[in-house]
Amino acid sequence: MTEQQRFLMAGVMGWPVMHSRSPLMHNYWFDQLGLAGTYVPLAIEPAGLEAALRALHPLGFAGCNLTIPHKQQAMTIVDEVDDVAKAIGAISCVVVRPDGSLFGTNNDWFGFIDNLKQDHPDWRADAGPVTVIGAGGGSRAVCYGLMREGAKEIRLVNRTRARAEGIAAEFGGPIEVLPWEDRHDALDGVAMAVNTTSQGMVGEPPLNLKLDRLPVTALAADIIYIPLETPYLAAARARGNPTINGLGMLLHQGRPAWKRWFAIEPAVTPDLRERMERSIRGG
């Protein structure tokens, strides 16, 4: 076995990438599984993305994750984009194939769903209506996952209605677009409400959403993980709703990436989650 076959390498390309928690997670898995390998943050400017991706093979990398702002641009660079990434419109994971060609897929939807299932084993996408706030890349992954799991009614609201209409037109099925002004009422009778906007993220104002209509049994979810508890989730928790933050989505999207890169499916353990939480709280 050659050195490069034994030493497993992957990374995350972003700009900026300095604050990414992905290296902590993946390197934890190398340690836990007793494998020789490393996962590195790669600060890549948008203009350099193609050259960086093409360098993965000569560097001996199994692949990489992509984060802001590369997820869409990579679609035009890799050699094959799978149907999932095409539907979501973004690549979250690049795999280097043995011949050096690049394959792109998206595991964000899986991260969202797999985390839900681990935390709430009784969760079902068709248990009732789901309201999704926001219509960016995060929303597309969430809506895709919910539909794949059999959601029967998705109420989609976004400040810019046209973006929500775009998702509804592409995805079809159970997505109904409601006006931004109606977002508070859109929580009436739902089984789950998901924030996919940037509102509530560190440095951003809270999401402007009144929870009066949200049934107390409804699951309140956010895909933000910095902070771990957004004002929206804090308000939901205060009134008794079960909540789910965005960290689990990040943790669980890592599992299928490992399966593709290394043919191993690592576990999201309470210990890993605690370490990630500690790192996020520490700033």
Residue 270 burial (C-beta neighbours within 10 Å; 0-12, 13-18, 19+): exposed
Answer yes or no: 71 catalytic: yes
Count residues contacting ligand ATR (CB under 6 A)?
A: 14
Distance between CA atoms of residues 157 and 164, nearest Å: 7
In terms of CB distance, is 245 or 261 closer to ligand ATR?
245
Distance between CA atoms of residues 118 and 248, nearest Å: 9
Residue 158 near ligand ATR by CB under 6 A: yes
Choose which of 104, 129, 138, 254 interacts with ligand ATR (CB under 6 A): 138
**Interface of this chain with ligand ATR, residues 180 to 239, rule: CB under 6 A:** 196-199
DSSP3 helix / strand / coil % (the chain, rounded to 5): 40, 20, 40
In terms of CB distance, is 28 or 230 closer to ligand ATR?
230
Residue 120 near ligand ATR by CB under 6 A: no
In terms of CB distance, is 120 or 184 closer to ligand ATR?
184
In terms of CB distance, is 8 or 142 closer to ligand ATR?
142
Region from 24-32, 109-117, 128-136, 234-242 binding ligand ATR, contact rule CB under 6 A: 128-136
DSSP state of 267: -
Choose which of 136, 215, 227, 242 interacts with ligand ATR (CB under 6 A): 136
Rg for the chain, CA atoms, rounded: 19
The token pair at 167 is: 């998702």
Half-sphere exposure of 18 (CA within 13 A, CB side): 2
The token pair at 38 is: 């490393």
Residue 135 near ligand ATR by CB under 6 A: yes
Q: Which residues participate in catalysis according to the annotation?
A: 71
